Amino acid sequence: MALDFIAGCIGGCAGIIAGHPLDTLKVHVQSGRGSPMECTKALLKGGTLSMVYRGVYAPLGGVAGINAIVFGTYKNIRRAMPDPDSLRSHAIAGGTAGMLQSFACAPVELVKTRQQLAKEGMPKGAWAGARHVLRTGGYRSLFRGLVITIVRDSPSFAVYFTAYEAMTRGSQSAMHVFAAGGIAGVLSWILFYPIDVIKSRIQADTTGLYKGSWDCFLKSVRTDGWRCLGRGLGAVTLRAFISNGACFAAVAWTERAWHKTLSGERLVKASTISESVIYDSAEYQYDV
């Protein structure tokens, strides 16, 4: 369990840092602020990366808890299954992990989304942003979009972990792990992307425009047409490949480093015991 937590935290941080600029672009496009090219120009207008990394502290601040839930739940449920190595077990474990992590992910993504869009003068920093939301909207406002986050993440994580497992059974090389993680991330996003669009719009709404997920869906389609459900898909596809490839590569590297360290300790201990046995033997004492 400790290894699952540590590897998940490192992998999650690597994925967030690698993919956050494209996530910021995705949120701006989803919110109707222009085409991907127009939003890109606006974000880079100042000549720095400060705007594209706006809101990064919220997911980084919550990544420890979220990835502990995801990887801890996923691996422990899979181990408890009658056939832990079957793809069905990976899908069930992944879906359960996605559902549970939504309770931590929903408020983190809400703060991140509003910071990325600079909503209501949102302050920088994860805790400062969360306190601002609580102060202006109360406890329930921090969990706005929770239900649709569960609807998105439970099946998404089932696809995510199952696809990764299926693609890495033949090879565990660094490049193969990166590519498999990236492709698994792309699949899980493409299949459920319209749900993410609605989630982003609900969490960005600070005026009470949408009464719920279904109301948001109807108003979005009525106002912007069906094409709005695919806005930003290009940016999110590229981000998903880079971010999830980096995440799984970091997780695999951490697990290998951990096992290598433990193997080295076992060899040292075995060598020490062997030397002790030789030194304490009657034959060695007789020679001395």
Distance CA 113, CA 58 (A): 9
The two tokens of residue 130 are 């969360």
Q: Kindly tell me if the per-residue pLDDT of 119 is higher than 70.
A: no
Higher pLDDT, 106 or 280: 106
Q: What is the pLDDT of residue 108?
A: 87
Task: Read off the pLDDT band of 116 (50, 70, 90).
Answer: confident
Count other C-beta atoms under 10 Å from residue 238's C-beta: 16
Distance CA 148, CA 208 (A): 17
Rounded to 5°, the CA angle 98-78-88 comes to 80
Distance CA 185, CA 240 (A): 5
DSSP 129: H
Distance CA 8, CA 251 (A): 6
Q: Kindly tell me if the per-residue pLDDT of 78 is higher than 60.
A: yes
Are 22 and 233 in contact by the 8 Å Cβ rule? The answer is no
Three-state DSSP state, 210? coil
The two tokens of residue 95 are 């879906």
Q: Express each pLDDT in 132-145 by its tens digit.
A: 899 888 888 999 99
Instruction: Find out if CATH 1.50.40.10 is the number for domain 2-287.
Output: yes
How many Cα atoms within 13 Å fall on the side-chain side of residue 202? Answer: 26
Q: What is the pLDDT of residue 173?
A: 86
Average model confidence (pLDDT) for the chain? 82
Q: What is the pLDDT of residue 110?
A: 92
pTM reported for the whole predicted model:
0.74
Q: Kindly tell me if the per-residue pLDDT of 115 is higher than 50.
A: yes
Distance CA 53, CA 35 (A): 19
Mean pLDDT (whole number) for 237-254: 86
Q: What is the pLDDT of residue 281?
A: 44
Calculated CA dihedral for residues 69, 139, 28, 246, nearest 10 degrees? -10
Are 59 and 104 in contact by the 8 Å Cβ rule? The answer is no
Q: What is the pLDDT of residue 269?
A: 54
Q: What is the pLDDT of residue 282?
A: 46
Distance CA 101, CA 90 (A): 16
Higher pLDDT, 146 or 2: 146
Closest CA to 193 of 233, 226, 140, 240: 233
Are 237 and 190 in contact by the 8 Å Cβ rule? The answer is yes
Are 202 and 140 in contact by the 8 Å Cβ rule? The answer is no
Q: Which residues does 205 contact at the CB level (< 8 Å), separation at least 6? A: 144, 216
Q: Kindly tell me if the per-residue pLDDT of 284 is higher than 70.
A: no
For the chain, percent of residues with pLDDT exceeding 90: 35
Are 86 and 153 in contact by the 8 Å Cβ rule? The answer is no
Task: Read off the pLDDT band of 207 (50, 70, 90).
Answer: confident
Count other C-beta atoms under 10 Å from residue 123's C-beta: 12
Q: Express each pLDDT in 88-111 by its tens digit.
A: 999 999 999 999 999 989 998 998
Q: What is the pLDDT of residue 8?
A: 66
The two tokens of residue 64 are 């420890």
Lowest-confidence segment of 45-59, 137-151, 266-280 by average pLDDT:
266-280
The two tokens of residue 125 are 């920093």
DSSP 205: -
